[in-house]
Amino acid sequence: MDYVSDDYKYMGLALEEGKVAQSKGEVPIGAVIVLDGQVIGRGHNLRESDRNPVAHAEVLAIQEAAQKLERWRLSGSTLYVTVEPCPMCAGAIVLARISRVVFAVMDPKGGAAGTCFNILESPWTNHRVEVTSGVREEEARALMQSFFRSLREKRGK
């Protein structure tokens, strides 16, 4: 597996999911899960639409992948997400036994993949996740910034 080109490619799919979220008025976070070169799960934030505090992109992608594979263990898979996972999502990633997480932008207010916490590589959990950060960071940051700029402009009117 060529991590560099695959990471770029699959992060592009996560960015597309983020744009779908944005088109629905959601924070533009998107995620995809890949196993053996195949996308097995996709998700984008739906917290506002579903009025559901756990409808994060990563959780929805994990649920779809588990249903598709008809198992909860997603060993060998890689999750691509546009923003560093929060503690809830990091816990779900560990519990799903996802092997690797690739994210674009760090979350200085709640990131749980090394920024504020490091749940994914914690020695106190029964599963460790390989983490790669900064893939297509500029694009993901621009997506987030444009969303929040637009939100502030709407509120200012």
Q: Read off the pLDDT of each residue in 131-150 and give the average, rounded to a whole number.
A: 96
Which 3 state secondary structure label does DSSP give 79?
A: strand
Q: The domain 3-149: what is its CATH number?
A: 3.40.140.10
pLDDT tens-digit series, residues 27-58: 999 999 999 999 999 999 999 999 999 999 99
Cα radius of gyration rounded to whole Å, the chain: 15
Q: Read off the pLDDT of each residue in 103-119 and give the average, rounded to a whole number.
A: 96
For the ranges 38-42, 113-117, 151-155, the lowest mean pLDDT is seen at 151-155
**Other Cβ atoms closer than 10 A to 61:** 32
Q: Any binding-site annotation on 89? A: yes
pLDDT of res. 8: 97
Domain boundaries, the chain: 3-149
Q: Any binding-site annotation on 56? A: yes
Catalytic residue annotation: 58
Q: What's this model's pTM, rounded to 2 decimal places? A: 0.95
Which letter does DSSP use for residue 14 in this model?
A: H
